Chain A
Amino acid sequence: MDKTIRFKLNGKEVLVDSPPERMLLWVLRTDLGHTGTKYGCGEGFCGACTVLVDGKPTLSCQFPLAGAEGKSVLTIEGLARGGRLHPLQQAFVDEGALQCGYCTPGMILQAYALLLRKPNPTEAEIADALDVNLCRCGSYNRIIAAVRTASQAMKMKVVDHEAR
């Protein structure tokens, strides 16, 4: 049975009429046309489908639509602001932290969630937090470098902000 589910997607209110037990991944990709979130395994083993739900990293292939009711969902499409890349995205570009780019949206969102709770993670902490996310191209070393770079850039931004 269809149900109307209301949530915030990248800051904008959305309404979806759908069976509420459907997984958020498919609703995002098909019903809402947000194809940046990827399918990699469908069973919670690869992290390609990672999004943030109320700031928490969430495997959208395992997360029923009903769970999003009243919540705030962030996908890769919501990270850049006004055409400007988020420092994390910029760091992925600058560090060459991707090859085929298929795992990249999930990686960036997992890393973003990490930086929200731990603004200055060590390399070991990054590897640990991102360990669920698989990259077949083997960009792991560069992803770690990118997250480190971004954490520095974001810290500068905060300092900047406070100085003003």
Chain B
Amino acid sequence: MKPAKTMRNDDEYTMFGPNGGGSWTTLERREFLKLAGGGLIVFFAVGDGLALQEGQRGGGYPDDPNAYLKVGPDGRVACFTGKIEMGQGIFTSLAMMLADELDVPLDSVDMVMGDTALCPYDAGTFGSRSTKYFGPPMRLAAAEARGVLVRLASARLGAAEDALLTKDGAVYVAKSPAKRATYAELIGGKKIAIRLEQKPPIKHHTKHLVSGKPALRTDARAKVTGEAKFTGDIRIPGMLYAAILRPPAHGAKLASVDTSAAERFPGARIVRDGDLVAVLHDKPDLAAEALALVEAEFGPSDSKLDNTIIFAHLKQVESRSEVVVESGNLDEGAKLAAKTVERSYFAHYVAHAPSEPHTAVVRIDADKAEVWASTQSPFRARQEVARTLGLPEANVRVMTPFVGCGLGGKNQGGQIVEATRLARLAGKPVQVAWTRKEEFFNDSFRPAAVYDVRAGLDAANRIVLWDYKNYQAGSRSSQPVYDIPHKRVLSFGGGWGGGGEGAVRAHPFATGAWRGPGSNTNIFATESHIDVMAEAAGMDPLAFRFHNLADARMKKVVTAAADKFGRTFAKAPTGHGYGIAITDYLGTYVATMAEIEVDKQKGTVRVRRVVCAQDTGEVINPEGARMQIEGCITMGLGYALTEEIRFKDGRVLDENFDTYEIPRFSWLPKIEVVLVDNPDMAPQGCGEPAVTVMGAVIANAIYDAIGVRMHTLPMTPARIKEALAAKR
């Protein structure tokens, strides 16, 4: 983009772009410019999710830039984004991309994240989208800023723009590097605002000095010293901690409550707003102690569901389906098939169990509110707080301190509305921090789901028929990655968010996105069934996959995993305990192989080794990518082997980590990660893909080890023993 006007240096920002300054008079933008404190600012729009964002905001923002980049008077670079950091490392990887494009050292880049007053609207941080969709336009914005700096330097140094180069936060004359001006000198007191309209040329990946090389996390120091602030660490004068009365079961209504004993507890204050009854105290533990004195009676839950009948319920509750994919003709496929195998697979509910339970702090001051929250969606939180208080959104500021795991569960923010209501009632700032038990009760669980799969092989052992139906799982990753002429995938129900047909509620409690939503269980069903078909074909599971794959990129990834794994697959079961599972997760290709042992007496599985090859396009921070993949593999052991929410009549029976077992040190396999180089493809998501194959790869390894096919997640010792007994 060429500026339409010359740059001025005055109190007002000089605006560039086809629309001049005229289109940027929104209040938010002006507010932002005031807060920005001078410098060079580039506004840019992030394409992905725009439809979603429009949908959520009721339209009207299609070309509104939704991120800002600033080069300050001190030459430091800052990126303002509504995305948040919850451990996935974008704090570091986005900064690396900026450092490269602008030619500044990594430590002069600041990320300003998840603050609704400083950052433009963002729909939320989920779906491994941040690097994939946010990165490219941010790079363009950075290239644009660099172009402006070069232009400024050209005037100042009296050299043509194409005779100039940039390095280490300065522009210099290529032929006489001593002639240079730092970004700080170039910006000085100027205020320049640009709206990114066209695509400036960006650097080829081979020119990147920072990206592509392992970098340490830039937030690590604060996190090892205890200085990093999470929401529960926010301290505000006068703040009270809330302990909230909860029903024993979902759907149980408060019948009567007696708070007199709690009221006598020193320092305790009882507040009530309809069903919301809470004790406030200036010590959180004493609030909880006083809450225990509240006597309450609740009516019965209307839910009559439990783990033993849930699958039958889920299959009959929904009759409408979405056609995820349909090609060829199933009857034709059935005719071609020499062998057909039909199976059902099942997955139970699992909890997010984030390290940090949902927490929020709310301070209301006349007609303004300030909110600190552990959330993946600060703008959605702002909307909810504004609605609760009847205030315009502009009067609400949501700030997102560090978030202790999101995993999808922090898209929902019930604790934020609770803190808002309580702060209003109390007339004081209030902190709501869910206990672990509340977290297990109020979570939006990964839905339980059912999968019916029918597949057929022709005489040449090619899959010619794939008839796949899932119930309540959601559609993501439900399409086979194999080359199959006649296939149909149907997805019944409202997906992982629940809902569905009419008044019929599928689930006894809230459900929602769980790291790799839909995919974990769809891939469990799909890739388990591929192994079933391999056995029917009399082939080993690796050769069978190659035999049925057409996608060259996928074949490369599978080969990379197999080379690293270094074991020979044979027709299962071999007794070795080798497993394989592959997927295309939203553009990231994964092939994982595992080596396990099963104790047949106890039914326990010990995962010895996991090899994961992943092609995620250009890798910005290899260290960060490895970290995410290793974390996915480790976390995935949980939903594969133990994680299951048990419930009955609206009660959640698992309340803490004693019965809800998540992976721990003693489970740890040897993990080997292969990053398959693909720098010419734009960076893809990395925070979820590798978790999605873990159920399948372990199921397939169990079959190879002991010859029993596990059809239900999680594959607990009890289920394994049962399956072994049934086989005998």
A90–B224 Cα gap in the complex (Å)?
8
Query: Do A96 and B283 touch (CB < 8 A)?
Result: no
A97–B705 Cα gap in the complex (Å)?
32
- Is B78 close to A, CB under 8 A? no
Q: Which residue of A lies closest to B629 (CB)?
A: A138
- Is B158 close to A, CB under 8 A? no
Q: A5-41 CB contact bits vs B (8 Å, 1 = yes)?
A: 0000000000000010011011001110111111111
Binds A, one of B110-118, B185-193, B351-359, B469-477: B351-359
Q: A60-97 CB contact bits vs B (8 Å, 1 = yes)?
A: 00000000000000011101100001000110111010
A43–chain B nearest beta-carbon distance, Å: 5
A141–B229 Cα gap in the complex (Å)?
25
Contact of B664 among A31, A98, A131 (CB under 8 A): A131
Contact of A141 among B225, B404, B623, B630 (CB under 8 A): B630
B191–chain A nearest beta-carbon distance, Å: 36
- Is B428 close to A, CB under 8 A? no
B-chain residues with CB within 8 Å of residue A23 when the two chains form the complex: 285
- Is A99 close to B, CB under 8 A? yes
Whether A136 touches B285, Cβ cut-off 8 Å, given contacts A96-B627, A99-B89, is no
Contact of B284 among A26, A131, A139, A142 (CB under 8 A): A26
A31–chain B nearest beta-carbon distance, Å: 7
A-chain residues with CB within 8 Å of residue B630 when the two chains form the complex: 138-139, 141-142
Binds A, one of B95-103, B316-324, B655-663: B655-663
> A31-B283, A100-B402 are known contacts; what are 5 more A-B pairs with Cβ within 8 Å?
A46-B436, A93-B216, A108-B224, A137-B635, A138-B631
A140–B219 Cα gap in the complex (Å)?
19
Residues of B within 8 A of A (CB): 86-89, 216-217, 219-230, 232-233, 235, 241, 282-286, 353-357, 402-405, 407, 433, 435-436, 623-624, 627-628, 630-635, 656-658, 662-666, 668, 671
B-chain residues with CB within 8 Å of residue A104 when the two chains form the complex: 223-224
Query: Do A134 and B631 touch (CB < 8 A)?
Result: no
Query: Do A79 and B225 touch (CB < 8 A)?
Result: yes
Residues of A within 8 A of B (CB): 19, 22-23, 25-26, 29-31, 33-43, 45-46, 48, 75-77, 79-80, 85, 89-90, 92-94, 96, 98-105, 108, 126-128, 130-131, 133-144
B692–chain A nearest beta-carbon distance, Å: 14
Chain A CB count within 10 A is highest, among B220, B233, B634, for B220
Contact of B224 among A34, A89, A144 (CB under 8 A): A89
Query: Do A46 and B657 touch (CB < 8 A)?
Result: yes
A11–B135 Cα gap in the complex (Å)?
46
B-chain residues with CB within 8 Å of residue A99 when the two chains form the complex: 87-89, 627-628, 631
Query: Do B216 and A102 touch (CB < 8 A)?
Result: no
Contact of A77 among B86, B225, B232, B631 (CB under 8 A): B225
Chain A CB count within 10 A is highest, among B86, B404, B657, for B404
Query: Do B665 and A133 touch (CB < 8 A)?
Result: yes
Q: Which residue of B lies closest to A102 (CB)?
A: B404
Query: Do B226 and A43 touch (CB < 8 A)?
Result: no
B-chain residues with CB within 8 Å of residue A43 when the two chains form the complex: 436, 656, 658
A36–B663 Cα gap in the complex (Å)?
24
Query: Do A127 and B666 touch (CB < 8 A)?
Result: yes
Query: Do B668 and A135 touch (CB < 8 A)?
Result: no
Query: Do B665 and A140 touch (CB < 8 A)?
Result: yes
Query: Do B223 and A141 touch (CB < 8 A)?
Result: no
Query: Do B230 and A76 touch (CB < 8 A)?
Result: no
A128–B668 Cα gap in the complex (Å)?
11
B-chain residues with CB within 8 Å of residue A35 when the two chains form the complex: 226, 229, 232-233, 235
Q: List 5 A-B contacts (CB under 8 A).
A: A30-B282, A46-B657, A93-B224, A103-B355, A136-B635
A97–chain B nearest beta-carbon distance, Å: 9
B254–chain A nearest beta-carbon distance, Å: 24
Q: Which residue of A lies closest to B630 (CB)?
A: A141
Query: Do B226 and A75 touch (CB < 8 A)?
Result: yes
A-chain residues with CB within 8 Å of residue B624 when the two chains form the complex: 96
